[in-house]
Amino acid sequence: MFGRGETMKQFDVLLVDDEERFLETTSRLLARKGYTVSVASGGAEALEILESCSVKIAILDVRMPGIDGIQVLKMIKREYPLVEVMMLTGHVTVDAAVEGLKSGAGDYLMKPVDIDELTLKIDEALEKQALIRQKISLVQPHQH
Amino acid sequence: MKRILGDHRQMIDSFLEERKGDLAFILETVSYEELQDPEVLRHLLNRLQKTSPAFVDLGIFDTRGVHINYQGPYDLTGKIYKNETWFKAVMENGVYISDVFMGFRKIPHFVIAMVKHSPTHTWVIRATIDTLFFNSLVETISMGHTGEAYILNTKGLLQTKPRSGGDLMDPEPADHQLPVFHQGMKLSIKANAAGDDSLVATTWLKNKLWMLVVKQDKADAFRTLNTASLLIVLTTIIGILIIVLVSFYFTARIVQRLEKMDLEKEKLRFQLIHASGLAELGEMATGFAHEINNPLQIIKSEQALIQMNVVELVEKEGIKPSDTLGELDDSLNQIGLQIDRCATITQSILKFGRRNEPASQSLDLKQFIPEIIAIVDKRANLQNIDIQFNTNSRLDLITADPAQLQQVFLNLFNNAIDAVVEKHRPNGGWIQISATNTHKNGVEMTISDNGIGISPENLKKVFTPFFTTKPVGKGTGLGLSVCYGIIKSMGGEMTVFSTNDSGTVFKINLPSDKGNVWERGNDETI
């Protein structure tokens, strides 16, 4: 009687970065701001979470050991096209930005990112996603 | 000299032989009886004189030495020569050529005499030879200024007149030694009357009675040789001089060129070090900046969390505002500001070190530069700075990434404004920008200002990353090094000239866009 998504844990934001302390502090900050946050310290872990949980927004560090941000982005877009992805990087290379955006990243953030700026972008993305989900539900009303 | 001597000996010998031959011919063809006839003798003399004008007279003698017939200018018929030396000698030898002697006539002459024996009679024919004529034969030998020739007899008496003086029949003036017979030719060096060395060549004539002497002052003889040697020495000296001068000239030029090349090499080396240094530094800085960004991100997050917690404490725990709380707030804000400052620096470094390919396109600087001037114009106007742009209508297009080039110009314009403001507040400052075609298919842009300038020691470091003269926190020291890197990556050149306290000129050379190159030489300024 329940859709698959409703049985799963729901998160507004999935933070993916290889810096543990960044994950810890940023998730605490976002939680204080009222978002539900999950964290992953690498690409593989992130994909595991996406498998078992419902995630609205994924924030990916571009440079990570193992599967890097761009690869994770491509996988997410292939497997979970509805998930909004934001790239986070210390690099401002135009190439990476262009590739990220081409691969379906919704936005780009540069380290060190301001918490207010981050919440602003998250809100924008959530809004955008809500709109898309709404449109989808209109087209496919019986899915619920 | 030997050749002359040889030639003349032959000439004199043959002359004497011929005269002897003449007489022998007469003796063979004309009988004794016929020779008694003065008419026949006169006829014979005429004939002889025709073949050789040297014959003066002709005489016939009998065995007693009586001059039985004579033809010639003197009246000698009947004179008796029995006791004369020549007569005795001719009777003894058959042929005789005398030395020059005075004889009855009291004038120098010499005679040739011959005996003829027939079954019935024995008689002698004698011819007198004109010494003057004979003289001329020898005297014609002349070489240089001092060359002369003469004949000596066995007693060392002169048989012809030497050119240098001395009379016939006198001993040779310079040399009183008796001539000694020798075979062939003999060369020797003797001191002459004046004390100078003379070159003397001698040879005996066939009759072994006369010696032909050819004589010339050594200096004279060797004059041509000396002149030639002198010429050779002179030519050699001049040649050496020319070679030395030319080699000096070329050496100087080569040295000059080498020095120039050295200078250029040094310049090139400096640029290379500068460029490679910059590249290395850029790479290092990029890595550094990237690594710094991660901890910076954490610090920033921590700062935000602390701030949030402080706000919560105040709101929920009811902590009253106090100096301590104020200080805490101020400190947290300051940490935030400093993190942002660090972030600015790392972003600049990452920009500086970025390795992506620029998005090049054809650019018309005539339009592009005014667009950038427009960006800084407001700021310049506020400071009463006059910005001028000069170019010409036929300016080449260039190939460049507009965003990068804009960054370069903005950086330079802002620097220029800062420099001018520092020196000319509140007015009097100017910035002049020009763009012209270079001769080598390129465009040169200059950005000149009348600002404070750059000191020589700072001028060397303007393109070095992190070098800045601005106060702490005002500049990262990366602007110009980024500009330099951008221009270099476009295949251009960027140079700076500055006079401390009177202004700075930045020159940027960029290659022209292929296919958009104007012909050089008739640019008109607009």
Task: Find the closest chain B residue to A112 by CA distance.
Answer: B297
Among chain A, residues having any CB pair with chain B shorter than 8 Å are 19, 21-22, 25-26, 28-29, 32, 63, 90-95, 110-115
* Interchain CB distance below 8 Å, B350 and A21: no
HSE (side-chain half, CA atoms, 13 Å) at B359? 5
**Stronger pLDDT, B142 or A42, i.e. the higher one:** A42
| Min Cα separation A76/chain B (Å) | 24
Q: From the list A32, A93, A111, which residue is nearest B297 (CB)?
A: A111
Rounded to the nearest angstrom, the minimum Cα separation between A74 and chain B is: 22
Indicate the residue of A63, A94, A114 with minimum beta-carbon distance to B356.
A94
Within-domain flag for B526: no
In a domain, B525, yes or no: no
In this structure, the answer to whether residues B214 and B232 fall within a common structural domain is no
- Amino acid symbol at A62: V
In Å, how far are B53, B86, B104, B259, B363 from B108, measured between CA atoms? Answer: 17, 15, 10, 88, 119
Determine the pLDDT at residue B162: 75
CATH classification number, A4-143, choose in 3.40.50.2300, 3.40.50.150, 2.60.120.10, 3.40.920.10: 3.40.50.2300
B192 and B311 share a domain?
A: no
Q: Residues B154, B179: one domain?
A: yes
Residues of A in contact with B356 (CB under 8 A): 93-95
CB contact under 8 A, B356 and A32: no
Could you tell me the CATH number of the domain that includes residue B381?
Answer: 3.30.565.10
What pLDDT score was predicted for residue B258? 92
CA distance A49 to A40: 8
- pLDDT (0 to 100) of residue A37: 95
Query: Which residues in B lie closer than 8 A to residue A112 (C-beta atoms)?
Result: 293, 296-297, 299-300, 339, 343
Q: What separation in angstroms does the CA of B255 have from each of B151, B241, B243, B247?
A: 71, 20, 17, 12
Q: Quick one: B215 and B124 in the same domain?
A: yes
Nearest to A93 among B297, B301, B356 (CB): B356
A90/B293 Cβ within 8 A: yes
Judged by phi (left if over 0) then psi (alpha if -120 to 50, else beta), residue B201 lies in beta
- CATH code at B209? 3.30.450.20
Number of C-beta neighbours around residue B91 at 10 A: 17
Average per-residue pLDDT for chain A: 84
Residue B103 pLDDT: 66
- Per-residue model confidence (pLDDT) at position A50: 92
In a domain, B422, yes or no: yes
In this structure, the answer to whether residues B217 and B240 fall within a common structural domain is no
The whole-number pLDDT of residue B482 equals: 79
B294 CB neighbours in chain A (<8 A) are 19, 22, 90, 111
Mark yes or no for CB contact B305/A91 under 8 Å.
no
For residue A114, the chain B residue with the least C-alpha distance is B300
Give yes or no: residues B333 and B482 share one domain: no
* Confidence category of residue A119, pLDDT binned at 50, 70, 90: very high
Shared domain check, B320 and B179? no
- Asked if B319 has any chain A CB less than 8 Å from its own CB, the reply is no
Closest CA–CA distance from residue B496 to any residue of chain A (Å): 29
B contacts of A32 (beta carbons < 8 Å):
305, 308, 312
Q: Which residues of A touch B311 (CB under 8 A)?
A: none
Q: Is B407 at the interface with chain A, CB within 8 A?
A: no
- Please answer whether residues B69 and B35 qualify as being in contact, where contact means their C-beta atoms are separated by less than 8 angstroms: yes
Any idea which residue has 């004889």 for tokens? B103
Structural domain range at position B369: 361-511
Do both B207 and B261 map to the same domain? no
Question: Long-range CB contacts (< 8 A, 24+ apart) of B56-60?
Answer: B56/B109, B56/B127, B56/B128, B56/B129, B56/B130, B57/B127, B57/B128, B58/B125, B58/B126, B58/B127, B58/B128, B59/B125, B59/B126, B59/B127, B59/B128, B60/B35, B60/B36, B60/B123, B60/B124, B60/B125, B60/B126
pLDDT of residue B193: 62
pLDDT on residue B303: 93
Query: Where are chain A's structural domains?
Result: 4-143
Interface with A, mutate which of B283, B293, B297 (most A CBs under 10 A): B297
Residues of B in contact with A114 (CB under 8 A): 300, 304
- Answer yes or no: do B298 and A25 touch at CB < 8 A: yes
> How distant is the Cα of A13 from the closest Cα of chain B, in angstroms?
16
**Chain A to chain B Cβ contacts (< 8 Å):** 61
The span from the CA of B150 to the CA of B159, in Å, is 7
Assess whether B340 and B269 both reside in one domain: yes
Q: Does A45 have pLDDT greater than 80?
A: yes
Q: What pLDDT was estimated at residue B358?
A: 58
- Which residues partner with B210 through β-bridges? B153
**Residue A30 structure tokens:** 């976002």
Cis peptide bond N-terminal to B426, omega within 30: yes
A22 with B297: Cβ contact below 8 A:
yes
B258 interface with A at CB cutoff 8 Å: no
Contact (Cβ atoms closer than 8 angstroms) between residue B369 and residue B451? no
Contacts of A93 in chain B (CB under 8 A): 354-356
- How many domains does the structure of chain B reveal? 3
Q: Which residues of chain B have pLDDT under 50?
A: 355-356, 523-526
Q: Are B410 and B482 in contact (CB under 8 A)?
A: no
Check if B308 contacts A (Cβ < 8 Å): yes
**Cβ pair B59, B67 in contact under 8 A:** yes
pLDDT tens digits, one per residue of A79-91: 998 899 998 876 6
Decide which of B158, B190, B221 is a domain's last residue.
Answer: B221
Who among A19, A29, A113 is closest to B305 (CB)? A29
* Nearest-neighbour CA in chain A from B508: distance (Å): 25
Residue B356 near chain A (CB below 8 Å): yes
Inspect the interface and report whether the beta carbons of B302 and A110 lie closer than 8 Å.
no
**Residue B273 tokens, joined:** 């070090």
Q: Report the residue of A16, A17, A18, A22 to disrupt the B interface, i.e. the one with the largest count of B CBs within 10 Å.
A: A22
CA atoms within 13 A on the CB side of B113: 28
Chain B residues closer than 8 Å to A110 by CB: 347
Residue B517 lies in a domain: no
Q: Choosing among B286, B288, B291, B294, which should be mutated to test the A contact, i.e. which has the most A CBs within 10 A? A: B294
More reliable by pLDDT, A143 or B403: B403
Shortest distance between the Cα of A120 and any Cα of chain B, in A, equals: 15
Distance between A131 CA and the closest CA of chain B, angstroms: 30
Q: Does B313 touch chain A (CB under 8 A)?
A: no
B458 at A interface, C-beta within 8 A? no
For residues B299 and B335, give the distance between their C-alpha atoms in angstroms, rounded to a whole number. 9
pLDDT, tens digit (0-9, with 9 covering 90-100), for B386-400 = 899 998 888 888 888
